[in-house]
Amino acid sequence: MVIMLTPPSAETGPTLHQLIECALKSSWDNDGMKAAPQIAFSAFVAFYGFPVSLFAQGAQAPAQRQQPEFIRQGQQLMREGKLEEALALYRQTLQSQPLSLPGNIAAGNVLDLMGKGEEARKYFQKAIEVAEKPEQKASANRSMAMSYAFEGNCKKTVEYEQKVLDYFAAAKDFFQQGEIADEAARVCIDSGDWDTALHWYKVGHDTGLKEPDIKPARVDLWNFRWEHAQARIAARRGNLAESQDHITAAKTILDKGTNPEQAAFFPYLKGYVAFYGRDYKTAAEELSKANQSDPFIQCLLGQTYERLGEKDKAVESYRKAAAAIAHNPPAAYAVPFAKKRLASS
C-alpha cells in the first residue's frame, strides 16, 4: 500500500489549522485514551465534525459557544440514552435546514450508534456534498470514515481517512497527518487487518517525525506510540516475546519523563497484551488501572471477565461500553460488539 499525499484542489483555509493548534498535547491513536475530553467537547465536535483527537485534554474549544441549540439538545438526549429522540430532533431540523452540515453529521452519528450504517452514510455523503470549505469537507470525510469503522471495514475507513490526511498534507501539518494515519490504523487493527494496521501506524510515526523543528519530547511521543502499536499487533499475531520487547521499549521511552501524560496509557497496553496472551488475571488487573471511561477498555474488560467466568462483571462492562455516544475508533469497535454480547447473554 502506498500513501498518497495529494493536496486537494481547493485552497486550504486557515480555520481548521488554527483550531488544531490546541492539539499539541493531544492523546493519541484514539485508543480510548481521549475519552476524558470527549463529553466536554461533544457538542463542539458534533457541530464541526472534528475528531476529538484535535483537542488537548482540558483545552478550550474556541468555537464551542457557536454550537446550534439543536445540537446541544441532541447531545443531551444521547447522554440520556435517548438515541431515537435525538435522531428525531436532528431529522426535524433537517426538514427546514437540509443543507445543515452539523445536522447531517449529527444524524449520521446517531444512526451509526444505532447500527444503521447504510442509512448513516447517506447523511455523511450529504455533508460532504454541502461542505463549502476544505476544513468542512475534511470533517465530513472523517465522519464517513468512522461510519465504516462501526462496521469494521478497514478498507473503506482508510479510503476516507486518506481524504482527511490530504487536507492536513496541504496544510503541511505533519502532526495531524500522523494523528489521522494512526486513527485509520486503529480501525484496521480492531477489524483484524494487522498488515494494513502496521502500515498506517508506520506512516503515522514517520510522517509525524517530519514536523519542522520537532522537539525531543514530540519525538519521544511518536516513538512511544510506535512501540505501543507494534506491541499490540505482535500480541494479536501471537508473537508474545516480540510484544514484550516492544513493551520494554515503550517503558524505556516513558521513563524518560518527557511525556508524563502518557503514563496512564501503559496499563492499557499491558492489559491488552496479557489478554491476547490468555493471561486473563493479569489482563483484568492491568485494564482496571486504565481509563474506565473508555468504551474499548470497558469492552476488553467485559471479554476478560467472561474468560474468568465472572458473568455479572462482564455484563456490567458491556453495558457501559454499549452506552458510548462517541463517533471514534474505540466506540466504533466497542458499541456493536458490546450490544451483540448483551443480546446473547
- Listed by start position, the domains of the chain span 15-214
Ordered per-residue pLDDT tens for the chain, 345 residues: 333 332 222 222 323 333 333 332 333 354 433 332 232 233 334 333 444 333 332 333 334 457 899 999 999 999 999 999 999 999 999 999 999 999 999 999 999 999 999 999 999 999 999 999 999 999 999 999 999 999 999 999 999 999 999 999 999 999 999 999 999 999 999 999 999 999 999 999 999 999 999 999 999 999 999 999 999 999 999 999 999 999 999 999 999 999 999 999 999 999 999 999 999 999 999 999 999 999 999 999 999 999 999 999 999 999 999 999 999 999 999 999 999 999 998
Is there a contact between 83 and 75 (Cβ–Cβ < 8 Å)? Answer: no
pLDDT in tens, 302-333: 999 999 999 999 999 999 999 999 999 999 99
Contacts of 135 by beta carbon, 8 Å cutoff, 6+ apart = 12, 13, 15, 16, 17, 167
Residue in the structure block whose three cell numbers are 446541544: 72
How far apart, in whole angstroms, are the C-alpha atoms of residue 66 and residue 64?
5
The architecture of the domain spanning 15-214 is Alpha Horseshoe (1.25)
How far apart, in whole angstroms, are the C-alpha atoms of residue 272 and residue 190?
12
Which pTM does this prediction carry? 0.84
pLDDT in tens, 283-297: 999 999 999 999 999
Burial 119-146 (b: 16+ CB within 10 A, else e): ebbebbebbbebbeebbbbbbbbbbbbb
